[in-house]
Structure 1
Amino acid sequence: MRLHTLSVLSLAVCGAFSSVTMAAEDLANLVNYGKVSVDARYRYENVDQDNALNNANAQTLRTRIGVQSGKWYGLSGLVEADNVSRIGDSSFNSTRNGQKDFSVVADPDGSEINQALLRYDFKQGNVVAGRQRINLDNQRFVGGVAWRQNEQTYDGALAQIKPLTGMTLTYSYIDNINTIFGPDDNRFDNKTNPANIEGHSHLFNAQYILMRDRRGAPQLTLTGYSYLLGLDNIATTAAAPLGSLASRTNGVRAAGAIGPVSLVGEYAQQQDYADNPMDLDSDYYLAELGYTWQNIVFKGGYEVLGGDDGVGNRAFQTPLATKHAFQGWADVFLTTPADGIEDAYVGVTAPLWGGQLQAWYHDFEAEQGSDSYGDEIDVSYGHPIPGVPGLVGLVKYASYDADTPLLRGNVANVDTDKFWLQLQYTY
C-alpha cells in the first residue's frame, strides 16, 4: 500500500513538474510586459463660507508616476509616487501651512509613495501585500478619497477569494492608513486630521451575485460586511479623546435592477471597538431608487446616520469613507453631527455635448430631534479636451444653505459655497 501510494505521488509530482516545464514563464516578463503610467491633475478651488474666515483660493498640481510590472507565475508589482504642489499664493488652509485665517482646502504640499505592493493572482482570487488602494462596495465605509489631491491608501494585506461563481470573499488587515492630510504632520495639525492613522484594523466583506441579465450584468447583488477599525491616534472631534473613532460596523447591502429600474437597500450597526473610551451604539440606513432613460440616470434616496444623546459625539461615523461622494460636495458633514443626520436627495446624471452633466439636491435633517440643518445644490460638468487624448476638463459647484447656526458636538454649520475648475491628464 505504501509503495502504491508513493508511486501515485511520484506520478503526480512528475506530471505537475512536466506541466510547469511546458508552461514555463520567462522572468523577463516582469519587465517586458510592464508599463509606466503618468497622471497630472491641476485644480483651482474656491471656498466661500459665511463666517469670519477669509475665502480660500487654492491652486494645486498633483503629479503621479507609476511603474506596473508584468506577471511571472501570477506575481506582479506596482510602485506609484505622488507629489502635490501649491501654485501661486498660499491663500488657503491646507491643514499644514498655518493659514488658519482662511477656509480649509485639504491639499497639503508634499511627496509620498502612494502605492508600493506585491500581488499574486491565482485561479480563485488574488493576494496583495504592501501599500495599496482599497475601495470596497460604493466606498461608503472604506475608500481611497480620490477626489482630494493626496489619495488615501492603506498599509497591510488584502486577499480576495472566489470559491463559487458570483461569490467574492474579501479580507484585509491594515496597520497604517495614509490619509489625505499627509504626507507629514507638523505643529498645525490636530488629532482629527493626522497624516497617518495607526492601529490594527480588519475588514471582512462577502459579496454574492444572485442574478444576472442576458448580457451578464448583475441584477441582484447581496453583500455582508464587518469592519473592525482600531484607530488609535485620531478623534471624532478636537474635544474628544483619542481612539473615539475606533468602531465595529456590521451591515448588509442589497443592490438590484429590474429593467431600467435600480434599487438599493442597506442597514448597518456600529459599536465601539478596541480601546475606544466611548460607548457607541448607532445605526445606518439607506434606501435608493433609480431609473435610466436613454442614458439619462435619475436617482432619489434617503440615507440616515444615527445620532446618540450621550455625552460627546457618539453618532455613526465613517472615518475611512470616500466622504466627498456622499451628503453633498460642499463637505459640510465630514463628521456626522452628534444628533445624527438624515439626507434626502435626488439627482440626475446625463450625457451632454460629448461630456457628462450631474445635478443633485440634498435636504438635511437631524436624526434625533427636529432640527433642520439645511439644504444643498451640486452641479458638475466634465468633458474631454478636444485634440489632447487623455486630457479631461471639469467644472463643479456646490452651494450649501444652512438653517441651524451650530450643531451639538462642536460641528460648525454655516452657508458654504465651493467652486472647482480642474484639468486632468492620464497616460
Structure 2
Amino acid sequence: MSMMKPSLLSLAVVCASLGQNAFAAEDIANLVDRGKATLDVRYRYEHVDPDNQNQNNANAQTVRTRISLQSGKWYGLSALVEADNVSRIGDATYNSTRNGQSDFAVVADPDGSEINQALLRYDFKKGNAVLGRQRILLDNQRFVGGVAWRQNEQTFDGVLGQLKPITGMTLTYSYIDNVNTIFGPGDNRFDTKLNPANIEGHSHLFNAQYILLRDRRGAPQLTLTGYSYLLGLDNIAVTRTAALGSLSSRTNGLRANAAIGPVSLVAEYAQQSDYADNPQDLDSDYYLAELGYNWKGMVFKGGYEVLGGDGGTGNRAFQTPLATKHAFQGWADVFLTTPADGIEDAYVGVTAPLWGGQLQAWYHDFNAERGGDSYGDEFDLSYGHPIPAVPGLVALVKYASYRADDDTPLLRGNVANIDTDKFWLQLQYTY
C-alpha cells in the first residue's frame, strides 16, 4: 500500500498538470488575444460605353471600405464580423440601380453601409460548421459565389457544414434563407423583380468532392465533384415579363479536374430543372470542356462552355443566379442573364507574369446554343501590379470590349445585344 501511494500521487500530479496545460491552451481569453483586425480599402473608377443612343456613358468613382474583426479560437469556436461601406466620389453620372440615374449605363455599385459577414464558426477534427451571414464559394463559383468583383459582395444568411470523413473527401451542405446581393444594401424601396437587394427563399446546397490522385508533392492530380443545388428564390424573376420565382431551379452535376504535369483538364456536365414554386417548366443542360498548359509560369487556356436554351415560351434557358458571373463569358457582363436560345462560349486566354505583376488576355466567341446565330465576340485585357513603395497596395488596369453581331440586335428573352466597352482603374489597400 505504501508503494502505491507515491504512484497514485505521481499520476494525480501528471493529470493535474496535463489538465492545466489543456486549460491554458484553451483559455477563453484566446478569443480576444489571438484575434485580429483587417482593413481593406478599394478605390475604383469604372467607365462604361454602350453603343446605345438612348443611354449616356457611365463614369463611376467609388470607394469600398471594409473592416473585419476575426476572433481567435476557443475549443474550436470562433467569430467573425465584417462591415462594408461603399461611397461615391464626385457626381453620380452612372446608374447604380438605386440612384435613379436611368439615363446612364449601369455600374452596379450602390452607396451604403452593410454587415457583410457576421458568423459563428466551430472547427473540429473532421470538419467545421458555420452559422450566420457568410461568404460561400463552391468550386470555381460558376453556380455559387461571392461576386467579389463588385464593391458590395454577395453573401448568404444560413448555415453551412463541412465533413471530411476520409482523406481527400469533403462533403458540404448549406441551407440558405436569404441572399444579400450586390444590389444592396437597401430597404426594398428600389427593388425590382430583376435586382432585389435581398433574395428571399429556401435553398439547399449539396457538394461532394473527392481527390482521387495526388502527385509526389501532394498536389491534386484528379478531383471529382458531384453537386446538387436546390434554389428556392421567391422574389426574383428571370426577365421583366416573367413571374416571380422563375429562377428557382434544381441543378445536378458532375465536375472533373485533372492535372498531368504542365497540362490541366476540366470536364463538367449539369442538368437543370424547375424547383419549388417556379411556374415554368425547366429542362436544360450545361457543358464545359477546358484545356490548360503551364509553360514557364505562363498559363494558356482554351475552353468551350455551353448553357442550354429552350424552345418554349419565355426564357427557360440554363441560368446561374447565385454565381460569380463576372468571371465567366467575358468581363463586359453582357450575358449575366442567359438568352432564351442559350449560349455557346468558345474562349482562349493567357495569364502571365510580367514586370513583377500579372497580365491576363482573353478572347470569347459567342453563339446561340439553339439555332446557331452569332451573338458576337469579346476581347478582355488586364494588368495588376503591387505598388512597391506601399506594402499592401495593388493597382489594376482592366479593359473589356464586346462587339455584337449586327444581325442579332435583340436576343430572344429580352437580353439587349449591343457593342459595349468597359474600362476600370483600381487601387486596393489591405492592412
* Interval of TM-score (by shorter of Structure 1 and Structure 2): over 0.9
d(CA) in 1 for partners of 2:195, 2:223: 35
Pairs within 5 Å for 1:78-97: 78-97=80-99
C-alpha RMSD of the superposition = 1.3
1:387 is matched with 389
Matched residue type, 1:36: A
Q: What is the CA deviation profile of residues 277-312 of structure 1, one whole-angstrom value per residue up to 9, with x for unaligned ones? A: 100000000000000000000000000000001110
- Note closer, same or farther for the CA distance 1:402–1:162 as it changes in structure 2 (3 Å cut): same
Please list, as runs of the form range in 1=range in 2, the aligned pairs for 1:97-246 lying within 5 A after superposition: 97-246=99-248
Aligned to 1:8: none
8 Å CA contact 2:301–2:349 kept in 1: the answer is yes
Which of the numbers 400, 403, 408 marks the counterpart of 1:401? 403
Question: Residue 96 of structure 1 contacts residue 185 of structure 1 at CA under 8 Å; is this kept in 2?
Answer: no
The reply on whether 1:412 has 2:413 as its aligned counterpart is no
2:262 maps to which residue?
A: 260
CA shift at 1:21, angstroms? 5.6
CA distance in 1, matches of 2:20, 2:424: 56
Structure 1 pair 18–157 and aligned structure 2 pair: CA distance change class (3 A): farther
Aligned partners of 2:188 and 2:196 also within 8 Å:
no
Match of 1:345 among 332, 341, 347: 347
State the Cα deviation string for residues 108-145 of structure 1 (Å, max 9, x = none).
00000000000000000000000000000000000000
Task: List gaps (5 residues or longer) in structure 2.
Answer: 1-13
Structure 1 residue 190 displacement after superposition: 1.2
CA distance in 1, matches of 2:16, 2:322: 45
Aligned 8 A contact 1:96 1:186 in 2: no
Does the CA-based 8 Å contact 2:287-2:305 persist in structure 1? yes
Per-residue deviation, 1:186: 4.9
Are the structure 2 counterparts of residues 118 and 368 from structure 1 closer, same or farther at C-alpha, using a change threshold of 3 Å? same
| Structure 1 position 189, deviation (Å) | 3.3
Aligned mates of 1:189, 1:17 — CA distance in 2: 61
Aligned to 2:373: 371
Q: Deviations over 1:20-45 (max 9, x none)?
A: 66512111000000000000000000
Q: Note closer, same or farther for the CA distance 1:181–1:16 as it changes in structure 2 (3 Å cut).
A: farther
- Give the superposition deviation at 1:18: 9.3
Matches of 1:19 and 1:74 in 2, distance apart?
19
Q: Gaps spanning 5+ residues in structure 1: where?
A: 1-14
Query: In structure 2, do the counterparts of structure 1 residues 16 and 271 end up closer, same or farther at CA, with 3 Å as the change threshold?
Result: farther
The 1-side partners of 2:189 and 2:81 are apart by: 30
Whole-angstrom CA distance in 2 between matches of 1:16 and 1:140: 52
Give the TM-score, by structure 2 length: 0.94
Q: 1:23 aligns to what SS in structure 2?
A: helix
CA distance in 2 between counterparts of 1:173 and 1:322 reads: 19
> 1: distance between equivalents of 2:227 and 2:202?
17
Please say which of residues 206-215 and 15-24 is displaced more in the overlay: 15-24
Which of residues 355, 358, 361 in structure 1 aligns to 2:360? 358
Q: TM-score, normalised by structure 1?
A: 0.95
Residues in 1 aligned to 2:389 and 2:333: alpha-carbon distance in whole angstroms = 34
CA contact (8 A) 2:98 2:190 kept: yes
Percent of aligned pairs with the same amino acid: 84
Opposite residue 82 of structure 2, the aligned amino acid is: E
Matched AA of 1:23: A
Moved over 2 A (4+): 15-22, 185-189
- 2:349 and 2:16 map into 1 onto residues whose CA distance is 58
CA contact (8 A) 1:345 1:361 kept: yes
Partner of residue 3, structure 2: none
* Partner AA of 1:126 in structure 2: N
- Tell me the alpha carbon deviations over residues 54-90 of structure 1, each in whole angstroms, 9 at most, x when there is no partner: 0000000000001000000000000000000000000
Q: Match of 1:317?
A: 319
Which residue identity lines up with residue 44 of structure 1 in the other structure?
A: Y
Distance of 2:348 and 2:241 partners within structure 1: 35
Count of equivalent residues: 413
Q: Does 1:23 align with 2:28?
A: no
Question: 3-state DSSP class of the match of 2:42?
Answer: strand
CA contact (8 A) 1:169 1:207 kept: yes
Cα distance in 2 for partners of 1:379, 1:189 equals 33
Q: SS of 2:331's equivalent?
A: coil
